[in-house]
């Protein structure tokens, strides 16, 4: 009989007798949980990006100051992508005797590729197509400032155009302060006749792309090799820091959830594989007696594991796909968001993870199993042959570590959790062994339950370690999730600023504050601002050619918004250095992100050119800025005395309640020179992303909890045979069912208490590290995590243990002996 056929027959026999039950369930849940998290995270990630790109108008865009080569459009069309070109430029809009500087946007048919433009042409609705040739769509600010009505005619360049609609909500607008003017949308067909496109005209050209993510990635790679000076690629992360921050936090947490599933799956697999191999020592010994070589024994069992692994991977993948589909259907907002279908990559990752876990935790034990002595047939005390235990654990740890770094998506996140779990495993193992050994010294050593725990100290210590790691992962996910949600809600409260005022003149500051008082609104803080270009670092002139990265080149070639202050702004935190005191001069503070991009370090001297007048100052601190706070923020802030002689304007942000919307109209009428920017659309989008992430967190937690139950199930079944043998002896000696039940419940309660205690301790420490160092959110540790950890451990392990052993406790002595 060949090896493969024998493996199949043994697999069928063990299947009928239930030998594969523990290992199969553990592996199916391992693959299923990883597939569920991966598929769901993939779908949510795609949906979040699609929704976020609605603020950009596309999946990807290329920005330049001159027309694009035809090859760019051709390359995108060859890849099956949708393409639209847009030109934006400043121009005067004339109506009667009035003229206002506006931002004119001329777009091709099909704009926007992502998102919708909401207009009011008598009724509010989503626009279908672009403005008709000869017409314009103007935003509310322009209509208010010029007193325009729908149907009025305005002059733009050489064109006489009719105002056909008011733009209620637009896409592809910056939240920053690069463009303050009211926006006017026209059809690209009108642009040549306008006479506004001339040599030297200040025109920003954008080509927008949308379509399949793989083709977009391919196009992006191709474009990076073609970009000329002044051309910059942007996606939603590059163009919108407030969206980028929300997406990055979401990905970090989903990565943490995936890591939790990997941890729990690995622990369950280790326990299940150990249980299976110990139950097959007799089979191996018998095969050796019948003449099987060590190589044949290894191949027979390896084929069984691979056959089982293939079936479990298929079943786990189907379970994961079905679970995430059910999850999507169960979340109302997700149905409304029409989540895109997932890619195949998460399923392949789950399958590879399952096979890697299976081989990582079983190959070396199988290698050891082939060396079982034939003498075990007559000498049952012979167990597994001696092996290098450290090597066995090292193999599983190596596989788990590789999966960690793969699943995390972030090296920092993966290494942090990996180091925490490795330390937890060592510390938990030592403390668990000491705890069960200490039970023999207590006055309660006469108790059979405590004595039994101490007698099997190594086995019970391993169970405690497994349950502690599983509990720590679940507690970590639970409490970090709560802190993350609280932090997000705190950063985007209901009264987050939704209006920005720009171009406040110095002599208008008092009048602006009086206006807010009259409107019964809190007077906002006014921030001074001047425009300056960075021209030298440490007295070495710089230009875009000094930087290979496109973003760095763009930052150097543009003007910065500079400000000054005698105190650290709200929602800013120092990461290096200290804030200056009164009377400080020639010092400045730099945002840490731009400092890293431009290679600016503490102590460097930066030189800026402001309206032809240069000044130099020393970097004395670096700041972290919460870009998603919707507050006024600056890359560079100087001491007040440095820039007091430069002409400056002021800006501010404030929250305007819906019932005081008329205040914005009154503000523009009272101060016609002001530019009022409405950011309600951006805030609504960020809040929607946060709400969806919150639901994602809750849903993903349910599936990691399922993996935790797999750990508990595997831990209990791993000692079931031993408990049956023990019950046989005790029932033979006269113990009744009540005594056995009390014995088992006491043991499980102690195991649960110790596991919960260690899990709470590890979760508290690792949660703090993750919150502060990786997710960068406040961490609030209290007594609740200890109550949930210890109390939950006792209740869960005791209940599960009772369910697993109640059949043994209720069996008659004869039945127990027959089952041994």
pLDDT digit string, tens, across residues 697-745: 655 666 666 666 766 677 666 666 677 777 777 777 777 777 777 887 8
Higher pLDDT, 758 or 240: 758
Strands 572-577 and 649-654 turn out to be unpaired
pLDDT in tens, 161-211: 999 999 988 776 543 433 456 889 999 999 888 887 766 567 889 999 998
Q: What is the domain extent for residue 260?
A: 3-50+244-491+686-819
> Do residue 230 and residue 255 come from a single domain?
no
Assess whether 529 and 441 both reside in one domain.
no
- Residue 175's pLDDT is 39
Q: What are the two backbone dihedrals, phi and then psi, of residue 227, each rounded to the nearest 5 degrees?
A: -60, 135
Q: Is 176 exposed, middle or buried (0-12, 13-18, 19+ CB in 10 A)?
A: middle
DSSP string over 197-258:
--TT---EEEEEEES-HHHHHHHHHHHHTTPPTT-EEE-HHHH-HHHHHHHHHHHHHHHHHH
3-state DSSP assignment of residue 343: coil
pLDDT of res. 332:
45
Torsion on CA atoms 304, 306, 311, 315, rounded to nearest 10: 130
Pick from 205, 239, 273: which residue ends a domain? 239
Structure tokens at 371: 């060396």
117-126, 218-227, 489-498, 782-791: which range is least confident on average?
489-498
**pLDDT value at residue 337:** 45
Do both 9 and 138 map to the same domain?
A: no
Distance CA 663, CA 677 (A): 13
Outline where DSSP puts E strands in 626-667.
Answer: 636-638, 649-654
Read off the pLDDT of residues 525-565 as tens digits, 9 standing for 90 and up: 999 999 888 999 999 998 877 887 767 877 787 788 899 99
Q: Same domain for 332 and 466?
A: yes
Do 742 and 812 fall into the same domain?
yes
**Of the residues 678, 697, 728, the one at which a domain ends:** 678
Whether residues 440 and 362 fall in one domain = yes
| pLDDT tens column, 69-110 | 999 999 999 999 999 999 988 888 888 878 777 889 999 998
In the predicted structure, residue 335 carries a pLDDT above the cut 50: no
Q: Whats the size of the chain, residue-wise? A: 820
Q: Give the pLDDT band of residue 445 (cuts 50, 70, 90).
A: very low
d(CA 350, CA 309): 12
Mean pLDDT of 748-760: 86
Handedness of CA 264, 265, 269, 272 (dihedral sign): positive
DSSP 268-322: HHHHHHHHHHHHTHHHHHHHHHTT--HHHHHHHHHHHHHHHHHHHHHHHHHHHHH
Same domain, 399 and 529: no
Per residue in 625-655, pLDDT tens? Answer: 877 677 888 999 999 888 877 888 899 999 8
pLDDT at position 255: 62
Cβ proximity of 652 and 529 under 8 Å: no
Three-state SS for 745?
helix
* Domain tally, the chain: 3
Alpha helices in 54-79 (DSSP H): 70-78
483 and 505: one domain? no
Choose one of 632, 647, 678: the last residue of a domain.
678
Do both 154 and 296 map to the same domain?
no
In a 10 Å sphere around its CB, with 0-12 CB exposed, 13-18 middle and 19+ buried, how is residue 404 labelled?
Answer: buried
Q: Does 573 lie in the same domain as 465?
A: no
CA 315 → CA 27, 260, 312, 360, distances in Å? 10, 21, 5, 20
Return the number of other C-beta atoms located less than 10 Å from residue 158's C-beta: 9
Q: pLDDT by residue (tens digit) across 265-310?
A: 677 777 777 777 777 777 777 777 877 777 787 788 888 888 888 8
For residues 526 and 662, membership in a common domain is answered with yes
In this structure, are 202 and 159 located in the same domain?
Answer: yes
| Cβ–Cβ < 8 Å for 464, 479 | no
Closest CA to 309 of 30, 697, 118, 609: 30
Q: Which of 344, 356, 348 is nearest to 402 (CA)?
A: 356
């Amino acid at each position: 009989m060949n090896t493969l056929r024998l493996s199949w027959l043994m697999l069928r026999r063990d299947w009928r007798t239930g030998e594969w039950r523990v290992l199969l369930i553990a592996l199916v849940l391992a693959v299923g949980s990883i597939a569920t998290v991966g598929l769901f995270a993939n779908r949510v990630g795609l949906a979040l990006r699609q929704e976020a790109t609605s603020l950009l108008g596309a999946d990807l865009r290329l920005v330049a100051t001159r027309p694009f080569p035809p090859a760019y459009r051709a390359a995108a069309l060859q890849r099956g992508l949708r393409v639209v070109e847009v030109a934006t430029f400043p121009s005067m809009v004339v109506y009667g005797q009035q003229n206002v500087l506006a931002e004119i946007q001329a777009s091709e048919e099909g704009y926007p590729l992502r998102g919708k433009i909401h207009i009011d042409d008598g009724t509010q609705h989503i626009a279908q197509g672009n403005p008709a040739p000869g017409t314009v769509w103007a935003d509310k600010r322009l209509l208010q400032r010029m007193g325009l009505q729908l149907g009025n005619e305005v002059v733009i360049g050489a064109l006489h155009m009719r105002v056909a609609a008011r733009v209620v909500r637009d896409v592809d607008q910056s939240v920053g302060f690069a463009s303050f003017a009211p926006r006017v949308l026209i059809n690209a067909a009108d642009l040549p006749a306008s006479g506004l496109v001339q040599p030297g005209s200040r025109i920003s050209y954008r080509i927008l792309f949308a379509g399949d993510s793989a083709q977009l990635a391919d196009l992006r790679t191709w474009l990076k090799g073609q970009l000329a000076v002044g051309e910059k690629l942007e996606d939603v992360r590059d163009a919108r820091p407030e969206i980028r921050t929300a997406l990055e936090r979401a990905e970090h947490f989903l990565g943490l959830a995936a890591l939790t599933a990997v941890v729990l799956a690995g622990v369950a697999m280790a326990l299940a594989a150990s249980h299976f191999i110990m139950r097959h020592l007799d089979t191996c010994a018998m095969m050796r007696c019948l003449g099987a070589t060590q190589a044949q024994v290894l191949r027979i069992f390896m084929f069984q594991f691979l056959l089982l692994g293939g079936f479990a991977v298929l079943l786990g993948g189907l379970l994961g796909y079905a679970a995430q589909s059910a999850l999507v259907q169960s979340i109302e907002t997700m149905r409304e968001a029409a989540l895109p279908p997932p890619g195949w990559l998460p399923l392949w990752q789950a399958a590879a993870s399952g096979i890697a876990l299976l081989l990582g935790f079983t190959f070396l034990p199988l290698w050891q199993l082939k060396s079982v002595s034939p003498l075990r047939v007559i000498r049952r005390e012979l167990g597994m042959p001696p092996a290098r235990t450290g090597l066995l654990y090292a193999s599983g740890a190596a596989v788990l570590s590789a999966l960690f770094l793969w699943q995390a998506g972030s090296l920092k996140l993966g290494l942090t959790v990996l180091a925490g779990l490795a330390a937890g495993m060592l510390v938990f193992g030592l403390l668990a062994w000491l705890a069960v050994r200490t039970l023999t010294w207590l006055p309660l050593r006469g108790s059979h339950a405590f004595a039994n725990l101490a007698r099997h100290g190594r086995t019970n210590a391993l169970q405690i370690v497994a349950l502690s790691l599983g509990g720590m992962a679940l507690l970590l996910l639970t409490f970090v999730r709560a802190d993350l949600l609280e932090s997000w809600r705190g950063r985007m409260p209901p009264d987050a600023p939704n209006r920005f005022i720009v171009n406040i003149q110095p002599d208008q500051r008092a009048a602006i504050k009086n206006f807010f008082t009259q409107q019964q609104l809190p007077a906002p803080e006014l921030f001074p601002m001047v425009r300056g270009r960075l021209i030298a670092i440490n007295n070495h002139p710089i230009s875009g050619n000094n930087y290979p990265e496109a973003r760095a080149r763009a930052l150097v070639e543009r003007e910065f918004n500079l400000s000054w202050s005698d105190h650290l702004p709200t929602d800013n935190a120092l990461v290096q250095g200290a804030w200056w005191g009164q009377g400080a001069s020639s010092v400045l503070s730099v945002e840490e992100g731009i400092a890293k991009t431009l290679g600016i370090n503490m102590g460097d001297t930066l030189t800026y050119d402001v309206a032809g007048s240069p000044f130099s100052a020393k970097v004395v601190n670096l700041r972290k800025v919460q870009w998603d706070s919707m507050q006024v923020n600056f890359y560079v802030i100087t001491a007040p005395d440095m820039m007091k002689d430069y002409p400056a304007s002021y800006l501010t942000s404030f929250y305007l309640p819906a019932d005081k919307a008329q205040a914005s109209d009154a503000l523009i009428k009272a101060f016609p020179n002001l530019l009022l920017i409405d950011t309600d659309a951006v805030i609504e989008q960020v809040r929607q992303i946060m709400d969806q992430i919150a639901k994602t967190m809750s849903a993903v937690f349910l599936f990691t909890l399922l993996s935790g139950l797999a750990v508990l199930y595997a831990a209990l079944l791993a000692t079931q045979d031993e408990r049956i043998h023990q019950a046989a002896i005790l029932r033979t000696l006269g113990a009744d069912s009540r005594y056995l039940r009390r014995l088992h419940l006491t043991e499980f309660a102690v195991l649960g208490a110790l596991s919960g205690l260690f899990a709470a301790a590890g979760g508290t420490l690792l949660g703090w590290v993750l919150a502060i160092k990786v997710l960068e959110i406040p961490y609030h540790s209290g007594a609740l995590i200890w109550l949930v950890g210890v109390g939950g451990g006792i209740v869960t392990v005791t209940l599960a243990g009772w369910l697993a052993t109640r059949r043994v406790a209720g069996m008659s002595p004869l039945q127990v002996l027959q089952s041994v």
